[in-house]
Amino acid sequence: MPRRRDVDAQRRTLSAAVWAVLAREGLPGLTLRAVAEEAGCTTGLVLHAFTDKRALLRHARELLHERTGARADAAAGAAENPASAVRDVLRQALSLTDDKREEARVWVGFLAAALPDEDLRAVHVAHNRAFLTRVGELVGACRPDLAPAARRHAAVALVAQVEGLNALAAADPQTYTPHRQRAALDRVLATLLSPTG
């Protein structure tokens, strides 16, 4: 029986391979064989950890949720005030670096698979709603004068802005540059979060 350390190392290797294949090849290229090749192992080892393509996709989405959640926690914790917390949490979710553009490609690939698949769609909805809740709470801290419904509307608009920019930047990073993404988000923030907005 393999030692726990070996199993954990194998899981990390396979996890990195799933992520790399989905980010590089998209949904059509994510196969058990492609993950095995990327990890330098057999498809049998991949099947030991992931039963099918759906399990590969779910794993990639869980990884994405963990990564972005940890960054959002750090951004909110380091913010100087509620307004900068909203801005910083949303900016950390934009596709401003190569790593974050890779995350956007993983997100788009997962979303494409989730549309016709009820179980995967439920995973997407749960994680998206968690992000909406986080942003809504940050909006409330920034604008305590807003009614709960207005906070929810602002959160939906802000999350839609960020996720829309990510999806577009995944395919066209030359148009949706980091500068343009930040500027677009800042305009929406100014409109939604100003006391007169």
Give pLDDT tens digits for 58-101: 888 898 899 999 999 999 999 999 999 999 999 999 999 999 99
38 phi/psi in degrees, rounded to 5: -65, -40
Between CA 132 and CA 144, with CA 138 as vertex, the angle to 5 degrees is 120
**71 HSE (CA, 13 A, CB side):** 16
What's phi and psi for 145, nearest 5 deg? -75, -15
Mean pLDDT of the chain: 91
The CATH T-level fold of domain 54-193 is Tetracycline Repressor; domain 2 (1.10.357)
- Report whether 88 contacts 75 (CB < 8 A): yes
Given this model, what pLDDT does residue 5 score? 52
Poorest-pLDDT segment among 80-94, 101-115, 164-178: 101-115
Q: What is the pLDDT of residue 57?
A: 87
Q: In CATH, what is the architecture of 1-51?
A: Orthogonal Bundle (1.10)
User: Can you list the positions of beta strands (E) in 13-107?
Assistant: none
In whole angstroms, give the CA distance from residue 127 to residue 72. Answer: 13
pLDDT at site 158: 97
Domain layout of the chain by residue ranges: 1-51, 54-193
First-to-final CA distance of the chain = 62
Confidence of residue 196 (pLDDT cuts 50, 70, 90): low
pLDDT for 127 equals: 95
Structure tokens at 5: 């350390």
* Inter-residue contact 10 to 33 (CB < 8 Å): no
Binned at pLDDT 50, 70 and 90, residue 2 comes out as: low
119, pLDDT greater than 80:
yes
pLDDT band, residue 7 (cuts 50/70/90): low
- Which pLDDT band holds residue 38 (cuts at 50, 70, 90)? very high
Neighbours of 131 (CB within 10 A): 21
User: What value does the mean pLDDT take over residues 1-15?
Assistant: 70
Per-residue confidence band for 4, with pLDDT thresholds at 50, 70 and 90: low
Q: Do 1-51 and 54-193 show the same overall fold?
A: no
- Segment 142-163, tens digit of pLDDT: 999 999 999 999 999 999 999 9
**Predicted structure pTM score:** 0.87
